[in-house]
Chains A and B, each alone.
Chain A
Amino acid sequence: MGTLAEEIFSRKVGRTVTAGETVVVDVDRVMSHDTTTPLAIQAFRKLVGPEGRVFDPKRSHIVFDHIIPAATIAAATLHRDTRKFAQEQDITILQEGICHQVMPERGYVVPGDVIVGADSHTCTYGALGAFATGMGSTDIGVAYATGRSWFRVPATINVQLTGEMPHGVFAKDLTLEMVRQIGVDGANYRALEFTGDLLPKLSVSERFTFCNMAIEMGGKAGLIAPDEVTREWLRGRTDREYPMIQAHNPHYERTFVIDASRLQPSVACPPDVNNVVPVEQVQDIEIDQVFIGTCTNGRLDDLAIAANILRGRTISPRTRMVVIPASREVYLEAMRLGYLEIFARAGASVGTPGCGPCIGRHFGVLAPGERALTTMNRNFTGRMGDPTSEIYLGSPATAAATAITGHITDPREFL
């Protein structure tokens, strides 16, 4: 009996738990990345001392993605110290893309899992029916040491997705509409559970986009019950058996119904993610840099959408473009399919799998007063560079169309 979040926690603790209860559970995986691991190591050492060992090196994952390859001496030094820790602990550092892409790709996430990660977008894994949430470094240091974490079982907001996605409208547009309706803290402390007629027709990649941005509504987790699409995606990625865990007679705190057929291409204007308007309202705004990538929209289908628009075209001379595949797997496949060549010929800089300029540290930092349109999940002040620069968020299609014209552009003109 319960929401998907309640069912997952009940299964973990072996009794029925409901929203509001505090539980301590054994977690399945613990993850941190190059920026958050150093503080996690400090917390870990403080708790268990210099001789302490992680609970399980095979289920402890350190991913270098935020500044890879190192862009500064400071970053290189943190990488060096973290490598030393990983070596001592027999942890394999993953350097093949963004943590939230690499963890699922490697089969480290299956339905029913409870996963904690030192990155707020850890909620992405909920697309596979795992309860995954972002925490700070101290919580993650504790989890590395003990294999456990505490949770207040969250109440759940249900988002029912119905209708068909119109031509030129993508998962990102649908996600921005959710943020517009629910607000930037409307799901604070709560799980979001996505259901509805539209869902079985959507790919795991599109589902990742929804769950990735649960945190942009304050959500503790974004959850989707596993189905045949999930099972098919996991085939060949994991040998583990997993439950096809489902909600049973759930009590939802609130329900939002979003009819995709009424949507149009949209962007979130700076500086808040719920500042969402149809592209047509802002199409005169000139853009200095377009960025396609990130844990939100850097997967193969995202690159395919952009490549189809950019094939045989070049970007506007007044703008510049950065494309970064979310992982090595995506990069190699995009190379094989010719997408990377399309981007390079169009005039884009194609980067190494990782977070790229999303956090404003390298590979496309913005100058004072500049504007970017990107497929990221956050448009916060100063996130990509100077505090007076501005970020607009949109789908890969809107991003590609915008790169061609140099101003915010409705992708339907090019589809």
Chain B
Amino acid sequence: MSKQPPARPPATRFAAGAWPVLTVAVAGLSYMVADPGSLVPLPAIAFCMLGRWVQRPPKPWHAPDWAIAVAVLAVIAYAVVVSVERGFEVRTFAHFMVLLAAIKCFERRTARDDGQLLLISIFVILSTAVSSSELVPGLLTLLYVLFVIIAAMRVQIDIVVPADDARPVGVARLGWTAYLLVGSLGFGLFFVLPRDILRSEGGASLAQAQQGVAAFRESVELGTGGLISSDETLVMTAEIVRRLPPSRAPRGRGGGPQEDALGHAVLRFRGRTLDQYRDGRWEPSRAVSEAINETIAVVGASSQRLGLFDAGTDDRVLVARVEQFAGASQGGTLFAIQKPSTFGAVSGDVRLAVNRIDRTIRSRDQIVTGLEYEVTSMVRSGDPPSFGVRDAVAPPPDPGYRAFAESILLPVGLEPDPLLRPQADDHAVVTLLSNWLRINKQYTLDIEPSPPGADPTLWFIRSGRAGHCEYFASSLALLCRSVGIPARVVTGYLLTEYDPPSGRYQIRRSHAHAWVEAQIGLDDWREFDATPEGVFAGSNGRSVNPLTRWLSSIETAWLSSFVSFDRGDQDQIRSRFARVFGGADTERERESRGASNRPRNVIAWILIGSSVLIGIWAAAGLFRRPARRGHPGIPPEAAAAVRELERFWKRRGTPRPRGSTLGSHARSVGPEQALAIVPMIERVAFAEGSPAELRTNKWVQRSALGEVT
């Protein structure tokens, strides 16, 4: 007794309705990754799946209409209340959409509902795009496009043929084809869509806001999260393209780049300097923030001397090529290792501003998508005077700082009073204070709140046990000031994660850091870092596992080629095209040359356009070519009989007129045999009769031989 194979399950509503739910799920997940603090999509996705699950045959269940209406009203109320309370937020909108999708999944399913789910998922994915441009949401968006394409195809089929009535129709292959076409064409359009028009400050702010709160800040406020960030988002990559002279690099000293145990320099990307302290808050003084900012030039690809420093014979020259992504800084701050001397923008032009007081540079334009630049820095090993007299910096208001500094310095014989202390001891004083902090305080990311009303820095020095970099920097700066040494807090990034395959440093939000610059001697500002060494324990290529490195490479590629793609990259692509066809190299060059190259470029574009059109025409022709000459709709026997009848009538001089049926023509012109054959042809054509009866029909055979006239 043979066992019957199990019957193939029919296409069900549940199976057919899975694609829209999956699409919503991918969109929701993508939003969750883009906005890590948002957890609403997770239960919403679970409810979506549950809603479809309970509608599975044989006993589908769906929520009553009143319950759906109540749920929709509740979700609308939630969105309104939250929006009134916090203002309109992308997060609220995304939550509203995923909750709406969850409710829709409990409705009695129709193909139209599936279409609405797809529309909702589009809104969710737009929320994702507005919220983040990071790699994982980007990849999930790529996946989403595939899902939504297949789901849209399925919905179109379900609209015309209810899923219960139809056999399953596979559209996955066509879906993949469409996905590849849409994806590649979408990327093509992405590259050519015009940039830099309709660009607004508000938009730039939005673009910056979408990156989340940057770890780097232009002010420091103790007791808050500050620079602390566990966000591993890549914000910059940097390559040291030149290091001169390599053998003379100072090692392990406070005045120059330190090196870690593996020999890689722990470099610091200097961003902003903060020289004004009040109640635990460091910010730039008015003089620094307002007086000296000036736009020196629009700097393009050729490096421009900033006019700040000239390299001395003992200076160590570092040339860094930096790719700075959106969200790396606030207010257009650009980063350099110590003192920048020349600057050149690799991608596009930059309106550059130089601050001559604190020796920082910044872009006047918002860095919306990203910026690639090359900056030359001077790392001084000697102490040649470069500007004026020693800067006057206000001492800390609380005398407790001075008392504490004295308790550290006096036991080792260093004079706290600047008038009595030899200038040569300044470096030793700062180093001693720095070492004291490093030894006696621990590094932690958990903020221990200072007592209300107390100065957070003094509290940290006196009784705090652990703090993060801002506490150490603030403490060292104020202790230095208390003993007459000008000092300021610097915010920026540590370059601790070196990626050997790419030869670049990976700089993440979590690498944001604060340290101190103290004026040693007359006018040489040097770096000091009181933060314990543990904070430098970044990955340096050997400790990172291959998967992480691989992901890091992908992330770098994503950020550098996609997220930071801008007008400059477009110009590069255009110039490559133009170079192939002998046109101008860049837009600027084209402008400078005037219209002389225009005809050649027009010809080039005509050629490209013609090639594309020919390709499309060829592809369309390929698709249009019919399968075979003949009668694909009916069996060949019936088709042959039709042909014979037509020939026969033609031979007799009574061809069948266009539009008349075989039957009516046979009835009107005969003969009897034809009249008998027509029903036979119909039976065979409609699969009601056997083709053999036509094949063996004597009249058809004789007619084919031309014997019948």
Same complex for A and B? Answer no
